[in-house]
Structure 1
Amino acid sequence: MPIGIIESLDHEARGIARQDGKAIFVDGALPGEIVEYASFRRKPKYEMAHLIQVLKPSVARVQPACPHFGVCGGCAMQHMEPSAQIAAKQRVLEDSLWHIGRVRAETILPPIHGAPWGYRHRARLGVRKLPSRGGMLIGFHEWRSSYIADIRSCAVLPPHVSDLLLPMRELFASLSISDRLPQVEVSVGERCTALVLRILQGLTAKDEDLLRAFADRHSVVIYLQPKGPDTAFRFYPVPGPRLSYTLPEFGLELDFRPTDFTQVNHAVNRVMVRRALRLLEPQPGERIADMFCGLGNFTLPIACSGASVLGIEGSPALVKRGREAAVANGLGNRVEFGVANLFECTEESLAALGRFDKMLIDPPREGALELVKALGRQAPSRIVYVSCNPATLARDAGVLSAVQGYHLKAAGIVNMFPHTAHVESIALFERP
């Protein structure tokens, strides 16, 4: 078996070694380690490999806390000490900014992080009936596989949700549609925990009784989703507790549907919103744009500063909930929402929205390339960019710097997903 020295981690938390000028990506290896590996895919410029044996371990290597780590694909970095995970993600961000965007931040912001366990308030879990493997399986997919991992607990889910995994197995196995229920989505709010059952067939009266009894016994709210996400509806209890999350520093509570996009880590989201507003520095009388605003996670806190805010989002349903949240929180007179496809943004369509003093951008993984290319003469003096993909942030940072004349004043990571390779980040751009 070949032996390699691991130099760094890539964006999927794989160790990188080099042999004869070729990059070797080794699952489960850490920087500084000497490892024995076996390649399973060979290309002219790189190889993919399994870790066979660690000959010299890194000081950052720890025993994973979860017995399912290595099989379950929900986590990729439990074998790495949490502070080392954060340092590795910071390096991924800085390397991406330089190698892709050819920019460097003038200031590296302190990383935002929180509790490493029990943080995941949203999860989409696969469900599969497999009598040969013990009946019902509920969990994340196995590592690099379409199979459902056979997990009995999950350390990154809140404890009360982890405790539901085995009872849900029993419940789903008892339903008449046990082989027609491929997914359950978990969404934890301040006041309740919702379970969204993706059903491919109608329920019997006995099924409905079983679901109601389960909801009462475990204090959860059950939704049913017969088709796409927009078809999800509250099944029981009706009426019931609100599904919402709070931003206590701003006195805000935002209602959401369990299939809406919201941040999975409530505690870290609160710190991230605070950081974003400190960087943006909204002032009374300013007009600020919140692009890809969702249901108002940043829009409403910006409005609390006294600024006038326009939130733009591609989903009419999220815009509707954003408007409702603004009214419910007493901010209806300072917030506007609009529907637009920002992936097709042009200089003309952006100019039609009027002039903005500042802008916050929080796009999905695809980034905001068309938006940053469309910034014209009246571009805002300050942009705060919240990213869930360092590669597209770096690409867009290159455009902002080389084409639009912005300086990258500061950037840093937000460890929204501990123990995974996911890198969330925040960056500040200023235009002289």
Structure 2
Amino acid sequence: MRAISPARSHRVAMQNPEVIIDSLNHDGRGVARLEGKAIFVAGALPGERVTFRYTSRHRNYDEAKVDQILLASGHRVEPKCPHFGTCGGCALQHLAAGQQIEAKQRVLAENFERIGKVEPGRWLPALSDKPWGYRRKGRLSVKWVAKKDKVLVGFREDNPRFVADLSVCHTLLPDVGLHIDALSELIGSMQAKAQIAQIEIAAGDDAVVLVFRNLVELCVDDLERLKAFGQSHGLGIMLQPKGPDSVVPLWPDRIDLYFRIDAADLDLAFKPLDFVQVNAGMNQRMIALALELLQPQPGDSVLDLFCGLGNFTLPVARQVASVAGVEGDQALVNRAAENATRNGIDNARFHAADLFLDQSTAPWSATRYDKLLLDPPRSGAAQVLEYLPRKGTDRIVYVSCHPGSLARDAGILVSKHGFRLREAGVMDMFPHTAHVESIALFER
């Protein structure tokens, strides 16, 4: 028998590489090492022994997908969705729900330690709500594929150049998620099937709306098909021929969207393209937790930055002397002011300002505030922390959608502004995804 040379033996072994997964990375892929090099393996869980196939190679790391699971984790579960692994909407359906939230807390803890060099005095219990059918906002891509003679409706695949061919989505509200096939057939029957680019989903407490992004003016037959679909499925239908301001109702003639905040006896109106928290149940619980941490008092003056349409500002207003909300989107500022009037609130003021620019001389910025609430986008609030908080502000609640930027800003608050990170925890705003929503309390 002819001996195999060491070099050839290495090549043969690498054709079917085998590794043990150490942990999960920030996007939900298993992390392993082979000959000292990190490999991110999609579909693998910590503790598992797997073989894999490479999808891309880089200087400092490689990317791969599971080929075969040789030893499965005890926390592995059967994904509910038949499209898991193809659709890029979810990354963690194969991991038990309780372990998902634990993994997210580990990500937050690692970011605090590595980036912010801080640690909370106490970890808050993880906040979660129902794991399926929770998405009241979403954007589905649409693509007519002539070779398949089919319209694809879905989220993007892991490779964002491609639209996932979905028949169902269990994270979307059932009113929409269970009818993806019907949407595909609807658009496939239209003359403008190649000119529908996307569908925006927006749900209030008593209405669900689909906004069709139509790149051309639709003929009468297409309009009638859309209207009939809305009527038969109990969905509002709107069209968006141009930019966000061009959205108009098709059926019914008037569509009003709102959601209640039970803890503050409020209902907030919004437009279909407005930003609202995706998970309605979690939003209720998150607001209640934010109020508990902020501890608003009747004499307090509070500043709410990145306030949107008043999701936190107006519940806070119910309990304090005054609150100022600041937001960069003028349309959302207008909506927030309208929501204050709608709910009979007269101690909330709203300001439009680009919070990524120096606002230190703005009148609202120079005012004294007892407490501060931050709910920034993924990039965080580092620019704001150049001039805020000022003396007199002794309590900050920070709601974050990105653990890295929260950790960085926590380091700034602790090292430069004399605060301590009192409490922090994760909130499962997006079950089955790797998205980490979190909340932190800082005290001076």
CA distance in 1, matches of 2:392, 2:92: 40
Q: Which residue does 1:34 correspond to in 2?
A: 49
Q: 1:429 to 1:236 in 2, by over 3 A?
A: same
The one-letter code sitting in structure 2 at the alignment partner of 1:251 is D
Residue 266 (1) aligns with residue 280 (2): yes
Question: Which of 23, 27, 34 is equivalent to 1:12?
Answer: 27
Q: Deviations over 1:329-348 (max 9, x none)?
A: 111x1100000011113444
1:273-288 matches, within 5 Å, as: 273-288=287-302
CA distance in 1, matches of 2:270, 2:249: 12
For residue 53 of structure 1, report the CA deviation from its aligned partner: 1.4
Q: Deviations over 1:154-210 (max 9, x none)?
A: 111122212332222222122221110010011111111000010110011222222
The alignment's TM-score, normalised by the length of structure 2, stands at 0.94
The one-letter code sitting in structure 1 at the alignment partner of 2:429 is M
Residue 306 (1) aligns with residue 317 (2): no
The one-letter code sitting in structure 2 at the alignment partner of 1:189 is G
Q: Deviations over 1:362-413 (max 9, x none)?
A: 0011111111122254251011000000011111111111111110001000
For residue 33 of structure 1, report the CA deviation from its aligned partner: 1.0
Question: Which of 174, 183, 206 is equivalent to 1:159?
Answer: 174
Matched position secondary structure for 2:94: coil
CA distance in 2, matches of 1:76, 1:115: 17
Q: Which residue does 2:136 correspond to in 1?
A: 121
Residue 371 (1) aligns with residue 384 (2): yes
Residue 57 (1) aligns with residue 75 (2): no
- Contact residue 120 and residue 264 of structure 1 kept, 8 A: yes
The one-letter code sitting in structure 2 at the alignment partner of 1:221 is G
Q: Deviations over 1:44-99 (max 9, x none)?
A: 32111221111111111111111111111111000000000000000000001110
Residue 393 (1) aligns with residue 406 (2): yes
Q: Which residue does 1:339 correspond to in 2?
A: 352
Q: Which residue does 1:326 correspond to in 2?
A: 340
Q: Which residue does 1:297 correspond to in 2?
A: 311
For residue 235 of structure 1, report the CA deviation from its aligned partner: 2.4
The one-letter code sitting in structure 2 at the alignment partner of 1:334 is N
The alignment's TM-score, normalised by the length of structure 1, stands at 0.96
Q: How many residues matched? A: 429
Q: Deviations over 1:224-264 (max 9, x none)?
A: 11122232222221134x21111112111111111000011
The one-letter code sitting in structure 1 at the alignment partner of 2:342 is A
The one-letter code sitting in structure 1 at the alignment partner of 2:174 is P
CA distance in 2, matches of 1:111, 1:376: 27
1:89-108 matches, within 5 Å, as: 89-108=104-123
CA distance in 2, matches of 1:44, 1:115: 41
Residue 356 (1) aligns with residue 400 (2): no
CA distance in 1, matches of 2:278, 2:364: 34
Q: Which runs of 5+ in 1 are unaligned?
A: none
- Contact residue 294 and residue 318 of structure 1 kept, 8 A: yes
- Contact residue 408 and residue 429 of structure 1 kept, 8 A: yes
Matched position secondary structure for 1:217: helix
For residue 146 of structure 1, report the CA deviation from its aligned partner: 1.8
The one-letter code sitting in structure 1 at the alignment partner of 2:408 is R
- Contact residue 351 and residue 376 of structure 1 kept, 8 A: no
- Contact residue 62 and residue 81 of structure 1 kept, 8 A: yes
Residue 192 (1) aligns with residue 207 (2): yes
Q: Which residue does 2:10 correspond to in 1?
A: none
Greater mean alpha carbon deviation, residues 73-82 or residues 45-54: 45-54
Q: Which residue does 1:207 correspond to in 2?
A: 222
CA distance in 2, matches of 1:178, 1:324: 38
The one-letter code sitting in structure 2 at the alignment partner of 1:103 is V
Q: Which residue does 2:423 correspond to in 1?
A: 410
Greater mean alpha carbon deviation, residues 203-212 or residues 55-64: 203-212
Question: Which of 232, 255, 259 is equivalent to 1:217?
Answer: 232
- Contact residue 167 and residue 179 of structure 2 kept, 8 A: no
Q: Which residue does 1:25 correspond to in 2?
A: 40
For residue 351 of structure 1, report the CA deviation from its aligned partner: 7.1
The one-letter code sitting in structure 1 at the alignment partner of 2:432 is H
Q: 1:350 to 1:6 in 2, by over 3 A?
A: farther
Q: 1:212 to 1:42 in 2, by over 3 A?
A: closer
Q: 1:244 to 1:26 in 2, by over 3 A?
A: same
The one-letter code sitting in structure 2 at the alignment partner of 1:135 is K
Give the aligned CA root-mean-square deviation in angstroms: 1.4
Matched position secondary structure for 2:101: helix
CA distance in 1, matches of 2:192, 2:418: 58
Q: 1:334 to 1:151 in 2, by over 3 A?
A: same
Residue 136 (1) aligns with residue 143 (2): no
CA distance in 2, matches of 1:308, 1:351: 12
CA distance in 2, matches of 1:323, 1:226: 28
Matched position secondary structure for 1:115: coil
Q: 1:351 to 1:122 in 2, by over 3 A?
A: closer
The one-letter code sitting in structure 2 at the alignment partner of 1:398 is G
Q: Which runs of 5+ in 2 are unaligned?
A: 1-15
- Contact residue 77 and residue 420 of structure 1 kept, 8 A: yes
For residue 110 of structure 1, report the CA deviation from its aligned partner: 0.5
Matched position secondary structure for 1:422: coil
- Contact residue 350 and residue 375 of structure 1 kept, 8 A: no
CA distance in 1, matches of 2:97, 2:75: 9
The one-letter code sitting in structure 1 at the alignment partner of 2:318 is C
Q: Which has the larger radius of gyration?
A: 2
CA distance in 2, matches of 1:70, 1:374: 45
